[in-house]
Homo-oligomer: A and B are copies of this chain.
Amino acid sequence: MNAKIITISREFGSGGRSIGKLVAEQLGYAFYDKALVERIAKESGYAEDFIERRGEDATSKSSFLFNLSRSGGGGFDGMPAITDKLYVIQYNTIKKLAEESPCVIVGRCSDYILRNEPDSLHVFIHADAEFRARRIVEIYGERDNAPLKRVEEKDKKRQVYYKNYTGRIWGMSENFDLCLNSGKIGIEKCAEIIVGLAKK
């Protein structure tokens, strides 16, 4: 296969970021997670914190918008104008990065944006909510009293954002080459499978 572009979409707390980092290290690829936010900040002039909050998740008022975008088929009809603007900047930045050098890109609809690139591998990482709730407490030191609720809210916001800009249902296997349950398979083994496929 020899995948030069690897996108990793992931449920919140599933370890997708850690897996992407391992894969990038093992393959010697550029890794765009925090570095992607920095690059988008540079291109757009928006603050990194703003991009973190608005570049991947819908705002919290969106359950109404979610239904709207589901029925409407998605695409620039349910988000505030500034979020639409940020999406376009992210789109262009991700396209540019993918041309620069072999890379692993985490999140921000990169699977959709780069869906037609040759030599690409699109991965989705998921795990059950309990595993993820435990993980955000252990790894990220989340202090929220209700980590399970936090995981579910974050899931919902990512679903809404993704549906709005891609017209796709979040987590459908048909949109990926590989979907892995990190809670069952383990972080290292997930990385090993991806590296094995990328080098094939």
Which residue of chain B has its CB nearest to the CB of A175? B173
- List 10 contacting pairs A-B, 8 Å CB cutoff, sorted by A: A126-B174, A169-B169, A169-B172, A176-B179, A177-B180, A178-B178, A178-B185, A189-B197, A189-B200, A193-B193
Question: Is B173's CB under 8 angstroms from A176's CB?
Answer: yes
Using A189-B197, A189-B200, A200-B189 as known contacts, say yes or no to A177 and B173 having CB atoms under 8 A apart. no
Which residue of chain B has its CB nearest to the CB of A121? B184
Question: Is A179's CB under 8 angstroms from B173's CB?
Answer: yes
Q: Which residues of B contact A124 (CB under 8 A)?
A: 173, 179
Give the complex CA separation of A28 and B180 in angstroms. Answer: 24
A1 at the A/B interface (Cβ < 8 Å)? yes
Main secondary structure of the interface of A (DSSP, over half): mixed
A2 at the A/B interface (Cβ < 8 Å)? no
Which residue of chain B has its CB nearest to the CB of A181? B177
Give the complex CA separation of A171 and B170 in angstroms. Answer: 12
Give the complex CA separation of A173 and B172 in angstroms. Answer: 6
Q: Which residues of B contact A179 (CB under 8 A)?
A: 124, 173, 176, 178-179
Name A1-54 residues within 8 Å CB distance of B. 1
Could you say which of B169, B176, B185 contacts A177, with CB atoms under 8 Å apart?
Answer: B185
Give the complex CA separation of A197 and B177 in angstroms. Answer: 17
Name A153-189 residues within 8 Å CB distance of B. 169, 171-174, 176-181, 184-185, 189
Q: Of A169, A173, A196, which is in contact with the most chain B CB atoms at under 10 Å from its CB?
A: A173
Which residue of chain B has its CB nearest to the CB of A125? B173
Could you say which of B171, B177, B185 contacts A184, with CB atoms under 8 Å apart?
Answer: B177
Q: Of A121, A169, A181, A197, which is in contact with the most chain B CB atoms at under 10 Å from its CB?
A: A181
